[in-house]
Amino acid sequence: MNDNQVTVKGMVIKHIPVGETDLAVTILTLERGKISAFARGAKKPNGKLTGNVEPFCFGNFKLYEGRTSYNIMEADIDNYFESFRQDLEGACYGTFFLELADYYSRENNDETQLLALLYQSLRALEKPGFLRKLVRCVYEIKALSINGEYPGLPSYRQWNPSTAYALDFIANTAVVKLFTFKVSDEVLDELCLITNYYRKNFIDRELKSLEMIKTFE
């Protein structure tokens, strides 16, 4: 293999057009954290990368590492999360998860847990019977914990003991075991209050995709 070529596993979390045929792609990877790469010809109808560097695409990406940027040479996609293409609500939640992952992740940082959380949360969105509002709460709380900013139960009011238990479970449980429980409506409402409180205190920008979610909640 060429010394300038590297293969990474990850998920496309956003892209923007560059010129008429190219895309600038952001990938959250196991090996190198968040990276930016050019996908040449990805907007051409028959390009080899066309459809393989869209948001939610998860798989292996072969990159050419230049002095100042990466170029995507090949993409072998394991999961496109195609259900979101026909599911507006699921796509809105998923897009919010991507936006939050972009906010928390850094280049050359170990983002293994964040990538695992993103992948498992998107899978949970696809499962019937698991409330998407709960998936969102779990994702936000665990992302904060992974980022090392989890402050514990807010002290500005009294909370249902089951809410405190759920919060502790989410913050301290391995990602693969997160989406294995349900909560009462009261606890879910309190978890939503807590995530709103966390967001106001720990995120210093407006998350555009959150506005779409509010139309479903």
Which domains, ranges and CATH numbers included, belong to the chain?
A: 5-79 (2.40.50.140), 83-214 (1.20.1440)
What pTM value is reported for the model? Answer: 0.94
pLDDT digits (tens, 9 = 90+) for 44-54: 988 899 999 99
Determine the pLDDT at residue 2: 63
Strand extents, DSSP E, 52-135: 58-65, 70-79
Determine the pLDDT at residue 87: 93
Secondary element (H or E) of residue 207: none
pLDDT digits (tens, 9 = 90+) for 58-81: 999 999 998 888 999 999 999 999
204 backbone dihedrals φ, ψ, rounded to 5°: -100, 25
Question: Quick one: average pLDDT of 8-25?
Answer: 95
